[in-house]
Amino acid sequence: MKKRWISLFVENDIGVLARISGLFSGKSYNLNSLTVGTTEDTTISRMTISLTSDDKTFEQIKKQLNRSVEVIKVVDFTDTAIHMKELMFVKIHGCSEHDMMKLSYMKEIFQAKMIDYAPSMALIESVQTEAGNNDLIKLLESDFSGRIEVVRGGSVAIEAISFSER
């Protein structure tokens, strides 16, 4: 089993997302994340899909996606140099003054932003690689166990021009 990424160029029409996600659920393929947005051509959307599968299953998925009428192009990012980022929000509840200082230090290390706060609560925005966000969550869970709320937006990716970053 290997973590994989696919970029799909699809028609920007009503129901395309449902048909693509239905393809995955109909075959019992589990997605790690799926993000969709319009491209520079508003008639085309780009999906970034993350999943974990073996080689045989992944080949089946790509073939099925290529057979879908709505799919214009399938790009396998698994072994390609890419730039990938994920948006994540973390709300920390029950913060003391000492906790707020600790959060300020953590956000600096992870290059995250504290975008909102109240006397006993903070909201952090982190745009990192998936691994970077996983590291931030791990640290926050160790210091603020049972007091964090996490929302992750899924990764978006584009082919690298000169180097790779995940």
DSSP code of residue 165: B
R_g over Cα of the chain: 19
pLDDT tens-digit map of 15-71: 999 999 999 988 888 899 999 999 999 999 999 999 999 999 999 999 999 999 999
pLDDT in tens, 50-61: 999 999 999 999
Nearest to 62, CA basis, from 14, 27, 13: 27
Question: What percent of the chain stands above pLDDT 90?
Answer: 84
φ/ψ of 89, rounded to 5, equals -115, 140
